[in-house]
Amino acid sequence: MVFSNYKDLNNFSNIIEIEQEIFLLTKNLFDFRMKRSMNQTVKPHLFLHTKRRLAQLKFKKSILLKSQKSEN
């Protein structure tokens, strides 16, 4: 599985969409951790991919917030 690129986030132009995606990813991370604690099978690379995507979304959100503040 290949890491997602930051360029793929260009379709997110709205902060609300980004926050929804962040919520879903944090929920997925929680589910992965619950499965791991219950000794269920979880693919370890999914942790890395989810955390990376989460960090990219948070960075994109901060850039959008800064651009909105500078416009005002």
* CA 69 to mean position of chain CA atoms: 23
> 36: how many CB neighbours lie within 10 A of its CB?
13
Q: Convert the pLDDT of each residue in 7-21 to its tens digit.
A: 888 888 889 999 999
Q: Is the dihedral of CA 21, 7, 12, 63 positive or negative?
A: positive
Task: Determine the Cα–Cα distance for residues 25 and 8; give it in Å rounded to an integer.
Answer: 16
Find all residues with CB under 8 Å of 41, minimum gap 6, and list them. Answer: 35
Q: Convert the pLDDT of each residue in 15-47 to its tens digit.
A: 999 999 999 999 999 999 999 999 999 999 999
